[in-house]
């Protein structure tokens, strides 16, 4: 269930996921604006063919933005290594997804989230492509920004530096905020993808007075 999504007028979303047997493939979700009393189903064309999604990509990451923005990332998942992003699909009308050609052959991927202005933030995981022990392998990361209408991501000025275990370093959306992993016990929060607040264990004050602006 997705709630507190900026720019969605308080609606909640339940994602069913990919349906390969409907046309050339669709992404299905349902929304409610009345607290779950009624739901509206929507199928968005996602032309992947008739394969099941698990045969198309090891891991599928989904992000929801304001208005009619959604993104789907297709990734490989080698053992004891980060995800590798190899396809990104976007929709701005919730009728058709289109594939975005990325400037990388593949990117070590730490998930993604939409900013309040409609830009898609992509987390890149640093380090080498070599095997590393899952118990001790901590990696840095950085955040890229794909602005609405652009075809090439740019590094996000002033964004927090990411750091953590390879399986958790990155960003995600939760409770109305973008959450960035910045250390083994620290995170940074942002409501808009522009202003970030660093949070440490036990910290009670997360007001803008301790925020860093991009």
Spell out the SS3 assignment of the chain.
Answer: CECCCCCCCCCEEEEEEEECCCCCCEEEEEEECCCCCCCEEEEEECCCCCCCHHHHCCEEEEEECCCCCEEEEEEECCCCCCEEEEEEEEECCCCECEEECCCCCCEEEEEEEECCCCCEEEEEECCCCCCCCCCCCEEEEEEEEECCCCCCCEECCCCCCEEEECCCCCEEEECCEEEEECCCCCEEEECCCCEEEEECCCCCCCCHHHEEEC
CA angle 198, 70, 4 (to 5 degrees): 50
| Of residues 135 and 164, more confidently modeled | 164
Does residue 5 fall inside a structural domain? no
The domain tally of the chain equals 1
Does residue 4 fall inside a structural domain? no
Mean pLDDT over the full length of the chain: 88
CA angle 15, 177, 69 (to 5 degrees): 45
Give the domain range for residue 111. 12-213
Does residue 2 fall inside a structural domain? no
Does residue 67 fall inside a structural domain? yes
Q: Which of 40-44, 167-171, 209-213 is predicted most confidently?
A: 40-44
Given this model, what pLDDT does residue 132 score? 65
Does residue 180 fall inside a structural domain? yes
- Tell me if the pTM is above 0.85: yes
Over residues 105-156, the pLDDT tens digits come to 889 999 999 999 999 999 999 987 776 665 567 889 999 999 998 888 999 9
């Amino acid at each position: 269930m997705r709630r507190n999504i900026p720019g969605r007028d308080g609606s909640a979303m339940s994602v069913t996921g990919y349906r390969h047997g409907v046309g050339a493939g669709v992404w299905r979700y349902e929304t409610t604006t009345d607290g779950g009393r009624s739901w509206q189903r929507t199928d968005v064309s996602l032309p992947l063919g008739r394969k099941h999604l698990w045969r198309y990509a090891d891991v599928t990451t989904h992000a929801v933005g304001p208005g009619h923005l959604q993104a789907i990332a297709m990734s490989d998942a080698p053992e004891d290594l980060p995800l590798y992003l190899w396809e990104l699909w976007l929709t701005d009308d919730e009728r058709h997804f289109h594939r975005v050609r990325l400037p990388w052959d593949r990117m070590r991927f730490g998930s993604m989230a939409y900013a309040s202005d409609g830009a898609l933030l992509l987390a890149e995981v640093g380090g080498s492509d070599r095997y590393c022990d899952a118990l001790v392998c901590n990696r840095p990361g950085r955040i890229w920004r794909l602005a609405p209408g652009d075809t090439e991501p740019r590094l996000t000025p002033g964004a927090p530096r990411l750091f953590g275990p390879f399986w958790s370093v990155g960003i995600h959306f939760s409770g109305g905020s973008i959450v960035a992993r910045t250390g083994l016990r620290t995170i940074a929060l942002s409501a808009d993808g522009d202003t970030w607040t660093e949070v440490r264990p036990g910290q009670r004050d997360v007001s803008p007075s301790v925020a860093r602006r991009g």
